Amino acid sequence: MERRVNRVVLGLLLGLSLILGSWILLGRAVLAAPANSSINLSKQPVITVTVHLGDEAGALNFEPSQLKFEAGRRYQLHLVNDSPTKHYFTAKDFADGIWSQKVDTGGVEVKGAIHDIEVRSQAYADWVFVPVRSGHYGLRCVVPGHTEAGMVGEIEILGQVF
Ligand SMILES: [Cu+2]
C-alpha cells in the first residue's frame, strides 16, 4: 500500500518536473533565439488582441472566432466575458505551440504552461505568450452544450521561431 502511494507520488513528481522542465527549456530557447532580432522576446512590446466570450444577450460564440498570430511576437490575449454565464477558452494544441509567459486575471498572475482558461461571468483574463510553432489549431468552449451550439473558433500561428 505504502509502496503504491510512493509510486503515485513519484509519478506525479516526475510528471510535474517534466512539465516544468519543458516550460523552462522552451522559455530559454525562445528567449535565446535571436532568429530575426537581438531583442529579448519576453520583453518586446506586447500586441493586445481582444476576444469576447459570448455577449450580454447570452450568445454562444467567440468574437472574433478566427485568430492569427505571428511566431516570435509577444501577445496579450485579452479574454472578456460580458455574458451571464461562464465560458472556457480551450485550445490545447495551440497551447503546446506557444510559450506562455503568464496569465493575469486582475490581482492574480499565474506563470507557466496554461492549456485552457475559464472566464467567469463579468470577468476577464489576460494571457501573455509568444507563439513558437506554426499551425492551425481548434478553439472551443467546453461548457456542456456550448461547442455544439457553435462556440468554436480557429487559431493560426504563422511562421516559426526555431
Ligand atoms: Cu461557453
pLDDT in tens, 116-154: 899 999 999 999 999 999 999 999 999 999 999 999 999
On the question of pLDDT at 28 being above 60, the answer is no
Q: How confident is the model at residue 106 (pLDDT cuts 50, 70, 90)?
A: confident
Q: Residue 159 C-alpha to ligand 1 middle, in angstroms?
A: 30
Q: How confident is the model at residue 38 (pLDDT cuts 50, 70, 90)?
A: very low
CA of 148 to the centre of ligand 1 (A): 10
pLDDT at 39: 56
* Confidence (pLDDT) at 6: 54
Provide the pLDDT for residue 3. 55
Instruction: Label residue 112 by pLDDT band (50, 70, 90).
Output: confident
Residue 141 or residue 24, greater confidence: 141
**Taking residues 21-42, what's their average pLDDT?**
52
The pLDDT mean for the chain works out to: 83
Encoded amino acid at 152, one letter: V
Cell 492574480 found at: 108
Q: How much distance in Å is there from the Cα of 87 to the middle of ligand 1?
A: 4
Cα of 152 vs centre of ligand 1, distance in Å, is 9
Q: What is the distance between the alpha carbons of residues 125 and 145, in angstroms, rounded to a whole number?
A: 23
Any idea which residue has 480551450 for its cell?
90
What does the alpha-carbon distance between residue 88 and residue 146 come to, in Å, rounded to a whole number?
9
Distance from Cα 79 to the centre of ligand 1, integer Å: 12
Cβ atoms of 139 and 117 closer than 8 Å: no
Tell me if 89 sits within 8 A of 51, measured CB to CB: yes
